[in-house]
Amino acid sequence: MVLSEPLEFGHDDRKRIYEYVERHGAVDPLEAQEELGIEPGGFRHHVAILKRDGRLEEKDGTLRVTIDAGAEEEYRSEDLEFHIRPARQEDLAGIVGAIRQVAEERTYIEAESVADEVDHEEALLRHNELESRMFFVATVDDDVVGWVHLHAPELEKLSHTAELTVGVLDGYRGHGIGSHLLARGLEWAGTNGYEKVYQSVPSTNEDAIAFLETHDWETEAIRENHYKLNGHYVDEVMMAVEL
């Protein structure tokens, strides 16, 4: 399922099952059936139809939302092998940890808010009538070392735009991981019908600004004194790229 598809279910219980799974990330089918109060035969039927229609999938004994985001890719620099793939619910702790470590540099405010939101909701990927959220991760030996995140409101006037954050743990920079993550995220955004991707960073994050400019992002606006870091006011640099 791509995120540009309309959410239509044809039955109230089918919609309730999807929304329950989407809200929780990965759920045990029996627990979902009991929590929703749907009789077992009906529940199995609706889950079967949701699977048929590409809305849900079952993996490792849990139901989860199906999002078509491509396959895992392998890359190798001179002394490092890493993989980039769509995130899974099981990556939640690794992603939150990576974002928080990068955010400790106090130069990536938007990413820090993403970590807080994901950690609070305990659901990694979202696709509902209000918003869509997608992650890709970079892994080394199955451990998350970087991420790219895209968030889009399901509002008609903003449906062509998505907000992006991207980051790599300090010890794994310099291997091209950030560039590959950024490319994967933008490829996904273009495939799903988004026309413009944007993000905002403090003006003190010169490395991030230079990184984005290298990949053809442009500064659209600057909000003076928008952040207050370590007691000092810092401008917000609002950047974007057309797809």
Which residues have CB under 8 Å from 39's CB, separation 6+? none
Which residues have CB under 8 Å from 116's CB, separation 6+? none
pLDDT in the model for residue 230: 82
- pLDDT of 55 > 60? The answer is yes
The predicted model gives 210-227 an average pLDDT of 95
pLDDT in the model for residue 49: 96
Taking the mean position of all CA atoms in its chain, how far away is CA 82? 19
pLDDT in the model for residue 159: 65
Q: For 37-46, what is each residue's pLDDT tens digit?
A: 999 999 999 9
Cα angle: 86, vertex 191, 15; to 5 degrees: 70
pLDDT in the model for residue 10: 87
If pLDDT is split at 50, 70 and 90, which confidence band does 128 have?
confident
Tally of CA atoms within 13 A in the half-sphere of 141 that contains its CB: 2
pLDDT in the model for residue 74: 96
Higher pLDDT, 140 or 114: 140
**Which one-letter amino acid corresponds to residue 123?**
A
Q: How many CB atoms lie within 10 A of CB 158?
A: 12
- pLDDT of 158 > 60? The answer is no
pLDDT in the model for residue 221: 96
DSSP letter string, 100-144: HHHHTTS--HHHHHHHHHHHHHT---EESSSEEEEEEEEEETTEE
Residue 151 pairs in a beta bridge with: 133, 163
The predicted model gives 169-193 an average pLDDT of 94
Q: Look over the chain and give the mean of its residue pLDDT values, rounded to a whole number.
A: 90
Higher pLDDT, 113 or 147: 147
- pLDDT of 184 > 90? The answer is yes
Q: For 72-107, what is each residue's pLDDT tens digit?
A: 999 998 889 999 999 999 999 999 999 999 887 666
